[in-house]
Amino acid sequence: MLSSSTFGSQTMSDFLPAKRKRTEDPNVDDKPQPKVRSEIWYDDGSVVMQANSTQFRVHRSILSTHSPVLKDMLLLAPADEQLIEGCPVLHLSDSEEDMAHLLKALYDRR
């Protein structure tokens, strides 16, 4: 007598299609990255900008003067915001390289 789940020496799983391979990138780590302080860190800065895991402590007034977009982002920051050394943190979707280039262009005007 044959079992409903076997056929001879084969099982049902031998007849079913193979499972799809996982599409997750094995190089991507889901663990939160430790925060890295950028070389662009002014002790008298008034806001911390965070791009990925890199933080930049800069001056709200300089950002607002040179960029209406950043000015609006700073004005619309949530009230229950995270603070680092007394400064609000502005989380950005830009790469740390792009932010470093932008901030160097604003601060290193020689």
Give residue-wise pLDDT tens across range 58-72: 999 999 999 999 899
Q: Is residue 18 part of a domain?
A: no
- In a domain, residue 101? The reply is yes
Strand intervals (E) in the chain: 6-7, 10-11, 36-41, 47-51, 54-58, 83-84, 87-92
CA 44/CA 17 separation, integer angstroms: 63
The answer to whether position 77 is within a domain reads yes
Supply the CATH number for residue 57's domain: 3.30.710.10
Q: What is the pLDDT of residue 96?
A: 95
Average pLDDT, the chain: 80
Structure tokens, 94: 């830009």
Query: For the whole model, what pTM was predicted?
Result: 0.66
Percent residues over pLDDT 70 in the chain: 67
Q: Please report the pLDDT score of residue 80 as a whole number.
A: 66
Q: What is the pairing mode between strands 83-84 and 87-92?
A: antiparallel
In terms of residues, how long is the chain? Answer: 110
Structural element, H or E, at residue 84 = strand 83-84
Decide if 40 is inside a domain: yes
Please indicate, yes or no, if residue 8 is contained in any of the structural domains. Answer: no
37-89 pLDDT, tens per residue?
999 999 999 999 999 999 999 999 999 999 999 899 888 877 667 899 999 99
pLDDT category, 97, cuts 50, 70, 90? very high
pLDDT given for residue 93 in this prediction: 92
Q: How many domains does the chain have?
A: 1
Place of tokens 């031998």: 14
Asked if the structure places residue 64 within a domain, the reply is yes
Domain interval for residue 54: 32-107
Model confidence pLDDT, tens digit, residues 100-109: 999 999 998 7
Residue 28, CA distances (Å) to 25, 34, 57, 96 in order: 5, 15, 27, 17
